[in-house]
A = this chain, B = another copy of it.
Amino acid sequence: MQPNKEQQLQFVTDRLESGTLQSVQRLVSVLHPAEIAHLLESLRPRDREIIWELVPVEFVGEVLVELNDEVRVGLIEATDDNALIYAADTLESDDLVDFLKDVPEVILNTVLESMGQQDRARVESVLNYDDDCAGGLMSLDTLSIRSDVNLNVVIRYLRLKGEIPKSTDKIIVVDRDDNFKGVLPLTALLTYDGGERVENLMIKENVDVIQVQMPIEDIALLFEEHNLVSAPVLSESGKLLGRITIDDVVDVIRDESDHSFMSMVGLDEEQDMFAPVLLSAKRRALWLGVNLCTALLASWVIGVFEATVDKIVVLAILMPIVASMGGIAGSQTLTLFIRGLALRQIGRANVNSLVIKELAIGLINGVVWAFFVGCIVSLWFDNINIGILIAVALMINLVFAALAGASIPMVLQRLNIDPALAGGVILTTVTDVLGFFVFLGLATIYLL
């Protein structure tokens, strides 16, 4: 059995230290391109360049495509031009386009010039599509046939071609002008008699086709919900442009997942885990700076009530409780809404009942925890007024936290700002500022 990823990494690191590279080369030669990419991403940059030299030349292109953006750009710089031009030659069209987007312009031009005019025009057309839509994701390697032939003709044609593009579960049927007509499942070729004509067996209605401008999130949902292996991509006028396959969709789903997970703390999933310390520090600093504004705002609110805190020091001890409970409750609602919006499960039709539900939960937990915290505080400081005060403040903050958690992602989405990236900071600002303001404000009014 193949060693698992942790064992692989350990093995490679040990061999790099002892300088015995032959066995590493053997390992690399049996790994798939995506596995080599995974391994490279897990290595320190200096080890990475040593292993990079061991990657079989016919895999260089595919490995580059599988790497995250930052590691890819780094290794492209470390690769000589001829190897890159050769690598371009090994790639299928969808990978080639991704690859060409990151290589130096001189290589881009060399590769484009070396291609036939037709291929070149096709690749250039894909280069113009946005990465976030079907056009940027599709492969040009389609297998298409006409409808007026029988299965034996199709099978003879396939035998003549000798190979079928990856993840082909159906053959696309087009007319002479490349207009999409339907699909013929590969299994039909195998289960029906060879004399049957394509037009009688092909599926014409309710075929899953993808418009070239369809956003990749919707493509992912379509593949998931219809259990697709591949789907044709059509132009607005219904011409066949290309094909999207499940392996690329899986990468989209993984990228989306990484993105929403990491952007919640201001990280970018396409960055190198081993980026130079100074560069990483600079990137993280931005996020710390944004959050410092929140913290300073909260401090300013406390400062407004300086006189109150000066007189009743217990308030200083307790005020973080109100702010932090609000932040926690709000982030639950926020997360629920961010996911619901991303999966298209929250829309105008149901948002009102969901907001009401969240407010009700905020109110219930507000009351429950207000009572509980109120009792603890009353006993702790032997002062029932402080207990009542924190209870009321907590309740108010939890209800507003629910409201903020529900409305922030919706407003951000309407403004075309990624809710996963900005939602948390804004929520914390609201719950901190409001938490301190309500607690200290009420204290100023009632306890002084």
Question: Interface of A with B (CB < 8 Å)?
Answer: 1, 4-6, 9-10, 12-14, 30, 32, 34-35, 38, 41-44, 66, 155, 158-159, 161-164, 166-169, 186-187, 189-193, 206, 211, 218, 221, 223-227, 229, 246-247, 249-251, 253-254, 256-258, 260-262, 264-267, 273-274, 277-278, 280-281, 284-285, 287-289, 291-292, 294-296, 298-299, 302-303, 306, 309-310, 313-321, 323-325, 328-329, 331-332, 334-336, 339-340, 343-350, 353-354, 357, 360-361, 364-365, 368-369, 372-373, 376, 428, 432
Contact = CB atoms under 8 A, between A and B. Distances in A.
A59 B191 CA distance: 25
Given A223-B250, A262-B336, 4 more contacts: A32-B226, A256-B257, A284-B361, A294-B324
A190 B189 contact: yes
A287 to B, nearest CB: 7
B257 A250 contact: no
B6 A332 contact: no
A324 B294 CA distance: 9
A397 to B, nearest CB: 12
Contacts of A66: 225
B261 A10 contact: no
Indicate the member of A299, A357, A365 with the most B CB atoms within 10 Å.
A299
Indicate the member of A1, A353, A360, A361 with the most B CB atoms within 10 Å.
A361
A288 B325 contact: yes
Nearest to A37: B225
A284 B329 CA distance: 8
B345 A320 contact: no
B292 A317 contact: no
Contacts of A226: 32, 34-35
B9 A350 contact: yes
Contacts of A368: 281, 285
A44 B350 contact: yes
Given A167-B229, A262-B339, A6 B344 contact: yes
A191 B167 CA distance: 15
Given A321-B296, A347-B9, A191 B161 contact: yes
Contacts of A298: 320-321, 324
Contact of A320 (B281, B299, B329, B360): B299
Contact of A13 (B1, B189, B223, B349): B349
Contact of A43 (B12, B189, B318, B350): B350
A197 B352 CA distance: 64
Contact of A332 (B265, B325, B331): B265
A190 B164 contact: yes
A3 to B, nearest CB: 11
A-B pairs, top 6 by smallest CB distance, nearest first, are A257-B257, A316-B316, A34-B225, A5-B344, A6-B347, A13-B349
Indicate the member of A295, A296, A343 with the most B CB atoms within 10 Å.
A295
A443 to B, nearest CB: 12
B347 A193 contact: no
29 contacts: A32-B225, A35-B226, A164-B190, A186-B186, A186-B187, A224-B250, A224-B251, A224-B254, A229-B229, A253-B253, A253-B254, A253-B257, A262-B336, A262-B339, A265-B335, A266-B332, A267-B332, A267-B335, A274-B353, A277-B360, A281-B364, A287-B328, A287-B332, A292-B369, A296-B376, A302-B316, A302-B317, A320-B432, A324-B428
A115 B11 CA distance: 49
